[in-house]
């Protein structure tokens, strides 16, 4: 957490890593991100806001198939994009 109590970009990235590695459930990640997305009055940098919004809704079902709207491949792609954008 930073001085204001909100998660740092490192912590947001760690949630992606935990998801990819299976150490965090999609439901847990969604609930964690939802708290921050719904919090009024917090000003986020663009990358943190994008990443939080990717995590928020990560547990959405794909419909009748029983899978998720955003599959593991999409999750890994978002993590790679987050790392790439951080490196710029």
- Residues 71-80: tens digit of each pLDDT: 999 999 999 9
Count: domains in the chain: 1
Position 3 scores a pLDDT of: 66
Confidence of residue 41 (pLDDT cuts 50, 70, 90): confident
Question: Does residue 3 sit within a domain?
Answer: no
| End-to-end CA gap in the chain | 23
Q: Kindly state the DSSP code that residue 87 receives in the 8-state scheme.
A: H
Q: What is the pTM of this model?
A: 0.91
Structure-model confidence comparison of residues 2 and 36, the more confident one: 36
Question: Does residue 79 sit within a domain?
Answer: yes
Instruction: Decide: helix, strand or coil at residue 7.
Output: coil
Question: Does residue 1 sit within a domain?
Answer: no
19 CB contacts (<8 Å, ≥6 apart)?
A: 26, 29, 55, 58, 75
Question: Does residue 35 sit within a domain?
Answer: yes
Domain that holds residue 83: 9-87
50 CB contacts (<8 Å, ≥6 apart)?
A: none
Alpha carbons 57 and 17: distance in angstroms, whole number: 16
């Amino acid at each position: 957490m930073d001085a204001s109590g909100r998660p740092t970009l490192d912590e947001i990235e760690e949630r992606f890593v935990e998801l990819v590695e299976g150490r965090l459930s999609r439901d847990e990640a969604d609930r964690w991100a939802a708290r921050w997305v719904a919090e009024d009055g917090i000003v986020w940098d663009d990358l943190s806001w994008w990443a939080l919004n990717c995590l928020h809704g990560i547990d959405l079902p794909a419909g009748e198939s029983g899978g998720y709207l955003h599959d593991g491949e999409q999750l890994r792609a978002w993590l790679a994009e987050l790392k790439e954008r951080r490196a710029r």
